[in-house]
Structure 1
Amino acid sequence: MDALLEKVLEAHGGLDRWKNLSTISARITYGGPFWEFKGHADFAGADTLEANLQEQHSRQVQESTGRTVVFDKKANRITVTGADGEIIEALDDPRASFDGYTPDTRWSLARIAYFRSYATWHYLVEPYVFTWPGVDAHEVEPWTENGQTWRVLSVTFPDSIDTHCETQLYYFDEAGLLRRMDYQPVVNGQTPVAHYIRESRTFDGITVPIKRHIHVRNEDRTPDLSWIPITLDLGEVRFS
């Protein structure tokens, strides 16, 4: 295993601890203009979530609408159910349905639910998911930003895990804690993103980022800090 990855896993609770957990539950508040731009302003708000830590599966309930969103990678299906229990919209093989989409394309309910589901699951299972079969993680050149030097992990994911793009960069501070992520979401026309961790906290022995700001990334890898398209805030985090 890569030496940086070993340090990162230890800083986030230790590999053995992650292997012996099954689920994470949390209350997540989403913000930013991205949701309205994609045609679903009500996706900005609070959800209660339960995610499987050993396979890509999550269930989220929107507090404002009572809708339930379930993503099951094994079944390759996203389902949106109303508060009355009736299926509103469902989509099989959701990733393939984004072919030809650009950053300006509006999304259906199922597509925006899929985007938020796979992304949120991924954020919650990092860095443990870096150790999964088929994932390659290795250290690359460090990055200096605002007088701080961060070590960088390049992580390439297999098709068995739905994520933003095949290879992503993760930046860690001296303590081994995640500070930034770079990726280009395939579903959104591969827009370059610089995703920052503004605050982390420890729950049940696991260190979790609880405040995230997601920015557009410039060609020189610097972030455009003039606006924040997406924010995520976590609370009430529990592991079991």
Structure 2
Amino acid sequence: MTNLVDLAIQAHGGFDRFDAFSSLTAKLHQGGILWGLKGKPTVLEDCHVRVDLRDERVSHWPFAPTMNHSVFTPSRVAIETPDGAVVEELVDPRSSFEGYEMETHWSNPQVAYFAGYTMWTYLTSPFILKRPGVVSDEIEPWQENGETWRRLHVCFPDDIATHSREQTFYFNPEGLLVRHDYEVDIQGRNAAARYLTDYVEIDGISLPSRMRIFPRGSNNTPLAAPLIVSVDLSDFRFE
């Protein structure tokens, strides 16, 4: 049987092709209940995102109602004006979420931290599985939507900011990533299942343009409601 990491990466365009680029930019529309629960219902509802494909560095803009942008890295996140002046920042941002639950409000830098690591994880998968320190093991397959999906149990190293250290990636028979499970550590470790659809091919790389995140039940099946986050992507551009 083909190694699942290799199958997935080839299905999404191949590592050599992905490695030819240094960044990915896209237009982003987001919805779902999360943003209102955090007291930020429209701050990143319609924005752009730029993801560095080599280092974990992300920017979102604009932070409505301003024209400010974020600068995210795992160790520091800032909100800056268009001229680069720092409006707010967090050093060691993950520690600022200690004790937070699903309903705890976020500051703009905390939104930038969550949105930054989230989109970096999402837009570099499955190629992220080849990064140093990332360990993946194929586990038993999963039946859903009349298909058998192969699964990877993945452990991320401490130097990668992401939802949780342990996550599960599901791939359809063609090798495309169709589901992604994790616990959101920074908001009470709530269990979530992300579904990826409407793939498009951009410069030889296959990318999902639609994502929907739902709560995950104790039997590993998603709950029909509430919709935690919706993500719609367009205008992709590799550089």
How would you bin the TM-score normalised by the shorter chain?
A: over 0.9
Whichever residue aligns with residue 76 of structure 2, its letter is R
Assess if the C-alpha contact under 8 Å between 2:63 and 2:69 holds in 1: no
Which aligned pairs between 1:33-48 and structure 2 lie closer than 5 A? 33-48=33-48
Q: Does 1:216 align with 2:235?
A: no
Corresponding pairs, count? 237
Residue 49 of structure 1 and its aligned partner are, at CA, apart by: 1.8
Residue 84 of structure 1 and its aligned partner are, at CA, apart by: 6.5
Q: Does 1:162 align with 2:174?
A: no
Compute the TM-score of the two structures, normalised by the length of structure 1.
0.94
Residue 67 of structure 1 and its aligned partner are, at CA, apart by: 1.9
Match of 1:72 in 2: 73
Assess if the C-alpha contact under 8 Å between 1:29 and 1:234 holds in 2: yes
Residue 85 of structure 1 and its aligned partner are, at CA, apart by: 4.8
Which aligned pairs between 1:148-227 and structure 2 lie closer than 5 A? 148-227=147-226
Give me the whole-angstrom Cα distance separating, in 2, the residues matched to 1:84 and 1:163: 29
Q: What secondary structure does 2:111 align onto?
A: helix
Residue 64 of structure 1 and its aligned partner are, at CA, apart by: 4.0
Match of 1:110 in 2: 109
Residue 47 of structure 1 and its aligned partner are, at CA, apart by: 1.3
1:8-38 Cα shifts (integer Å, max 9, x gaps): 0000110111222111111111111210111
Assess if the C-alpha contact under 8 Å between 1:5 and 1:138 holds in 2: no
In structure 2, the gaps of 5 or more residues are none
Assess if the C-alpha contact under 8 Å between 1:103 and 1:189 holds in 2: yes
Q: What secondary structure does 1:192 align onto?
A: strand
Q: How has the CA–CA distance of structure 1 residues 168 and 79 changed in structure 2, closer, same or farther, with 3 Å as cutoff? A: same
Give me the whole-angstrom Cα distance separating, in 2, the residues matched to 1:81 and 1:55: 20
| Bigger shift: residues 81-90 or 126-135 | 81-90
Assess if the C-alpha contact under 8 Å between 1:28 and 1:48 holds in 2: yes
Assess if the C-alpha contact under 8 Å between 2:37 and 2:102 holds in 1: no
Q: How has the CA–CA distance of structure 1 residues 15 and 83 changed in structure 2, closer, same or farther, with 3 Å as cutoff? A: closer
Q: Does 1:119 align with 2:88?
A: no
Whichever residue aligns with residue 61 of structure 2, its letter is V
1:99-139 Cα shifts (integer Å, max 9, x gaps): 22222222222112210111011101111111001000121
| Bigger shift: residues 41-50 or 3-12 | 41-50
Compute the TM-score of the two structures, normalised by the length of structure 2.
0.94
Q: What secondary structure does 2:90 align onto?
A: strand
1:83-105 Cα shifts (integer Å, max 9, x gaps): 56543211001111112222222
Give me the whole-angstrom Cα distance separating, in 1, the residues matched to 2:225 and 2:178: 19
C-alpha RMSD of the superposition: 1.5
Residue 214 of structure 1 and its aligned partner are, at CA, apart by: 0.4
Identity %: 36
Give me the whole-angstrom Cα distance separating, in 1, the residues matched to 2:26 and 2:218: 35
Match of 1:16 in 2: 16
In structure 1, the gaps of 5 or more residues are none
1:186-230 Cα shifts (integer Å, max 9, x gaps): 101100001111221110000001100000111101101123121
Assess if the C-alpha contact under 8 Å between 1:67 and 1:81 holds in 2: yes
